[in-house]
Amino acid sequence: MARLHGILFFKIFFISTLLSVTFAHDASDKVLAKKIFGNFTSPAKLSPESLGKYNNGCLNGGVELPVKGATWQHINSKRGRNWGHPTLIDFTKDLSEKVTEFGWKGLYIGDLGNPRGGATPYGHAAHQVGLEVDIKFKKPKSLNLSFRESHNDHRYGKPAFKELNVVSKNQKNVNSYWTREHMNILKAAAKDERVNKIFVNAAIKVWMCKNAKSEGRSWLMKIRPERGHSEHFHVRLKCPEGSPNCINTPLWNKYKNVDGCDKQLAWWVTERLKPKKKVVKKTVKKTVKIKKKYKCTHARCYLPEDLPKACLRTLHFNN
User: Residue 31, class by beta-carbon neighbours within 10 Å (0-12 exposed, 13-18 middle, 19+ buried)?
Assistant: middle
List of residues 6+ apart from 287 with CB closer than 8 A: none
Q: Please report, for the chain, the start and end positions of each structural domain, with discontinuous segments joined by +.
A: 2-274+302-316
Q: For residue 246, give the 3-state DSSP assignment.
A: strand
Residue 237, beta-bridge partner list:
195
**pLDDT at residue 190 in the model:** 97
pTM of the model: 0.85
The per-residue DSSP string of 74-88 comes to ESSGGG---EE-HHH
Please measure the distance between the N-terminal and C-terminal CA atoms of the chain and give it in whole angstroms. Answer: 34
**pLDDT at residue 319 in the model:** 73
Strands 83-84 and 63-64: antiparallel
**pLDDT at residue 288 in the model:** 55
**CB distance 268 to 25 below 8 Å:** no
Q: How many residues does the chain have?
A: 319
Q: For residue 135, give the 3-state DSSP assignment.
A: strand
CATH annotation of 2-274+302-316: 3.30.1380.10
**pLDDT at residue 198 in the model:** 97
**pLDDT at residue 144 in the model:** 97
Residue 132 has phi, psi (to 5 degrees) of -135, 145
**pLDDT at residue 17 in the model:** 39
In order along its 319 residues, the chain shows pLDDT tens digits of: 445 444 444 443 333 333 333 335 555 568 999 999 999 999 999 999 999 999 999 999 999 999 999 999 999 999 999 999 999 999 999 999 999 999 999 999 999 999 999 999 888 889 999 999 999 999 999 999 999 999 998 887 788 999 999 999 999 999 999 999 999 999 999 999 999 999 999 999 999 999 999 889 999 999 999 999 999 999 999 999 999 999 998 876 666 678 999 888 999 999 988 887 776 666 655 555 555 555 667 888 899 999 999 999 999 998 7
List of residues 6+ apart from 228 with CB closer than 8 A: 201
**pLDDT at residue 215 in the model:** 87
